[in-house]
A and B are shown apart, each in its own frame.
Chain A
Amino acid sequence: ETGVTQTPRHLVMGMTNKKSLKCEQHLGHNAMYWYKQSAKKPLELMFVYNFKEQTENNSVPSRFSPECPNSSHLFLHLHTLQPEDSALYLCASSQDSLALTGDHNEQFFGPGTRLTVL
């Protein structure tokens, strides 16, 4: 399955480091999403981009900074993270985040980046 790819797959960083997560979708979709998956907690939606415009910032701390240069690429820039930010970060895409019904709602997920903050 290569519809949505994420790099790196694993990342270990210190609290003072700056790093970026990359997501690329090859499905021709117009919406992209960042989720955080922590142990024993539901997947948390972080950001939504639709046609390169950010449509949702789900109260995410400013140490996470998303960037969407085009509909196929999505980045998550990380700086001065905390140990509690260690988690699996998932990227997803869908046809359109604003469609009311139908298959436009279906989101396709990447494999995730396992982030460990020391």
Chain B
Amino acid sequence: AQSVSQHNHHVILSEAASLELGCNYSYGGTVNLFWYVQYPGQHLQLLLKYFSGDPLVKGIKGFEAEFIKSKFSFNLRKPSVQWSDTAEYFCAVNVNTGFQKLVFGTGTRLLVSP
């Protein structure tokens, strides 16, 4: 079965530190990849997505992610985090099993201290 692994469950950083959140998936077919963010008390929002083309994708708020097909990875990065980036981050893979199915990771809770 398809699965998504997010290795860091909790990350604590100081403002201006660099961020990298890992995401690995297990699926051998064509995938579309997403990072969603859930700010405290708010709904899930799309941060960025990869469908095809340039494996380095840029999203909102200075986030980017790199798709490395050989490693089945789609890690999220930001060079300098802000206090407002405190949120939970979810990696998701959209697999085509006859219909589109989003498979989510368990999420990474990021706390940025001012």
Contact = CB atoms under 8 A, between A and B. Distances in A.
Interface residues of B, number: 28
Nearest to A110: B43
Interface in B1-59: 4, 9, 30, 32, 34, 36, 42-46, 49, 51-52
- What secondary structure prevails in chain B residues at the interface with A? strand
Contact of A97 (B34, B100, B103, B105): B100
A97 B94 CA distance: 10
A interface, size bucket: 20 to 34
A65 interface: no
Contacts of A102: 51
Interface of A: 1, 4, 31, 33, 40-43, 45, 48, 50, 55-56, 90, 92, 94, 96-112
Interface of B: 4, 9, 30, 32, 34, 36, 42-46, 49, 51-52, 90, 92, 94, 96, 98-107
